[in-house]
Amino acid sequence: MIKLSVLGIPHDDNSSFMRGAAEAPDLIRRELHCDAYSMWSETGVDLSVAGRLMDHGDIKFDSAADPWDVIEQNVGRVMESGDPLICLGGDHAITHPIMRAVRRRHPNLTILHIDAHADIYHAYQGNLRSHASPFARIMEERLADRLIQVGLRTVNDHHREQFKRFGVEVVEAARWRENLRLDVTTPVYISMDMDALDPACAPGVSHREPGGLTTRQVIDLIHTLDQPVVAADIVEYNPRCDISNLTATVAAKLLKEIGGMMVKTTRT
Ligand SMILES: [Mn+2]
């Protein structure tokens, strides 16, 4: 049986505006395992089967060690099993050290990054590790062969320069169309920022950006993938901004659909 690893990364020190994303992992788990919902994914995969989900708990951060080294080492350790991995953030900054570990196992890799924001500022408020900058670091370090960004609606001139510099492929929310199919030819990493969704669908984020995708559109996009989904993150859920745990429920739903696709696409 194909297993899935889950790892919590409760880290939000590099958020530019508001803390709280570090409180997300346990709240997503609570909705995932809540008796109100089915553990079946729409992909036909039952995540409640004994042994299917291997939850590795949350990374512990202490002040002595560089958190980037701690994240890279923990992700690398969990990935030694060879099972697909879903990381629960945390803010989006964590994707950089996650990718350092993922890249070592995957010499061919495309990132599907679903977000309201490009997160590709060279630096933000002087912070090279800002949650607005992980994809600048990832592309500088060549941690992926391709970066495809979907759902953006905050693009500025600096971002456009960065897109050109790094060869980023962008589908802004304004260019969204139904039946969008991405021509991906390598294993995939999904970086799922909850603020890609319209705030009506997912209000529990630090940066609400209206005009976003619906939950249905994001799920359908994920379901179009036909390459192995080898790892993923679900980031930027901020419980302090949520309404009635709605966004935690959506994050748990996306975990089920990403996990289902991981099982469906794994080559054995
Ligand atoms: Mn975002």
Here the CATH number for the domain that contains residue 20 is 3.40.800.10
Distance 200 CA to ligand 1 centre (A): 15
Distance 205 CA to ligand 1 centre (A): 8
pLDDT value of residue 179: 86
Distance 233 CA to ligand 1 centre (A): 13
Distance 195 CA to ligand 1 centre (A): 5
Distance 39 CA to ligand 1 centre (A): 27
Distance 201 CA to ligand 1 centre (A): 14
Distance 268 CA to ligand 1 centre (A): 34
Asked if 191 contacts 98 with a C-beta cutoff of 8 angstroms, the reply is no
Report residue 247 as tokens.
């966004």
Cis preceding-peptide flag for 90 (omega within 30 of 0)? yes
Distance 228 CA to ligand 1 centre (A): 24
Distance 117 CA to ligand 1 centre (A): 5
Report residue 50 as tokens.
């004994």
| Amino acid (1-letter code) at residue 90 | G
Q: What is the pLDDT of residues 23-64, one digit of tens each?
A: 999 999 999 999 999 999 999 999 999 999 999 999 999 889
Print the domain residue range for 163.
4-265
Edge-to-edge strand order for the sheet containing 85-89? 53-58, 4-9, 85-89, 229-235, 188-193, 110-114, 146-152, 169-172
The total number of structural domains that make up the chain: 1
Q: What is the pLDDT of residues 85-105, one digit of tens each?
A: 999 999 999 999 999 999 999
- How many Å apart are CA 191 and CA 115, to the nearest integer? 8
pLDDT value of residue 268: 77
Distance 160 CA to ligand 1 centre (A): 16
Q: b/e per residue, 63-79, with b = 16+ CB within 10 A?
A: eeeebbebbbebbbebb
Residue 3 — very low, low, confident or very high, per pLDDT cuts 50/70/90? very high
Residue 267 — very low, low, confident or very high, per pLDDT cuts 50/70/90? confident
Distance 81 CA to ligand 1 centre (A): 30
DSSP 133-147: -HHHHHHHTT--SEE
pTM above 0.85, yes or no: yes
Report residue 101 as tokens.
């570990």
- How many Å apart are CA 111 and CA 167, to the nearest integer? 13
Distance 220 CA to ligand 1 centre (A): 19
Within the chain, where are the H helices? 24-32, 67-79, 95-105, 134-140, 157-166, 215-223, 246-265
Distance 223 CA to ligand 1 centre (A): 21
Q: What is the pLDDT of residues 166-185, one digit of tens each?
A: 999 999 999 999 889 899 99
pLDDT value of residue 63: 82
- How many Å apart are CA 147 and CA 141, to the nearest integer? 13
Strand pairing class (53-58; 188-193): unpaired
Distance 225 CA to ligand 1 centre (A): 22
Tell me the CB-side half-sphere exposure of residue 163, using CA atoms within 13 A: 17
Distance 118 CA to ligand 1 centre (A): 7
Mean of the per-residue pLDDT values of the chain: 97
Mean pLDDT in residue range 160-170: 98
Share of the chain above pLDDT 90, in %: 96
